[in-house]
Amino acid sequence: MRALTVTPGVKNSIRLDEIDTPTPSSSQALLRVQEIGICGTDLDINQGFYGEAPPGSNYLVTGHESLATVESILGNAHGISRGDLVVPTVRRPDSCMNCLNGESDMCLTGNYREHGIKRLHGFGSEFAVSDVQFLVKVPSKLSDVAVLLEPMSVAEKGVYQAFKIQERMLWKPKRVLILGAGPVGLLTTYLLRLKGLEVVVTATRAKDSA
Ligand SMILES: [Zn+2]
């Protein structure tokens, strides 16, 4: 199958490779990738700033934002079956207490793995595998925008955490300032507008950073 791969640590190494189609384990599903998103992390990986190949591999399949259909799966695991539209989450936990508590974003060791970034191949290929428990089933009517689920989860997490922290007191915000009008800034804007908040977004212009 075709795959977008890099040699981690080597600048501008991204290329279209021909590699073997992965074989899912009994706890994994084989995914037919429909779309991927490209973010700053992918650009940094291609700059050689970071990225780590899976053990035993000298390349890394890139791509962590994705939308896929389930090509094969054992039984009807976690309510997901063949043909379903899914988004696999990116991070796979280690055994620290936060990871064991389902909060791998708060991993205490840094020993987590991430598809397309750190020790797991990504989804920039015709087929990919993911543990079934980390697949998010997506309604087919959202197929046009569902590849944005991963960056949207970044926005959701940030907003959730902000409100969580402010539970220390009564807090009824009316206006929000968002610094940065990239995809995450804009998705966060939509989210906060849906909450009925007035949102101000600022961004630098090209000439500001020149
Ligand atoms: Zn952890």
Q: Could you report the predicted ipTM of this complex, rounded to two decimals? A: 0.98
Supply the pLDDT for residue 97: 98
Quote the ligand 1 centre to 118 CA distance (angstroms).
14
The whole-angstrom separation of Cα 84 and Cα 18 is 26
Average pLDDT of the residues of the chain: 95
Residue 37 burial by Cβ neighbours in a 10 Å radius (0-12, 13-18, 19+)? middle
98 CB-contact burial (10 Å; exposed 0-12 / middle 13-18 / buried 19+):
middle
Q: How many CA atoms lie within 13 A of 135 on its CB side?
A: 31
121 Cα: distance to centroid of ligand 1 (angstroms) = 19
Residue 210, pLDDT > 60, answer no
Q: Is residue 55 classed as helix, strand or coil in its secondary structure?
A: coil
Quick one: DSSP state of residue 169? S
C-alpha 156 – ligand 1 centre gap (Å): 21
Give residue 91 CA to ligand 1 midpoint distance, Å: 10
At residue 127, the pLDDT reads: 98
Q: What are 15-29's pLDDT values in tens digits?
A: 999 999 999 999 999
- Taking domain 2-138, whether its CATH number is 3.90.180.10 is answered by yes
Given this model, what pLDDT does residue 206 score? Answer: 75
For 52-109, the pLDDT digits (tens) are 999 999 999 999 999 999 999 987 678 999 999 999 999 999 999 999 999 999 999 9
CA of residue 48 to ligand 1 center, whole Å: 25
For the segment 137-173, what is each residue's pLDDT rounded down to a tens digit? 999 999 999 999 999 999 999 999 999 999 999 999 9
CA of 94 to the centre of ligand 1 (A): 5
Q: Residue 92 has what pLDDT?
A: 97
If one counts every other C-beta atom within 10 angstroms of the C-beta of residue 27, the result is: 12
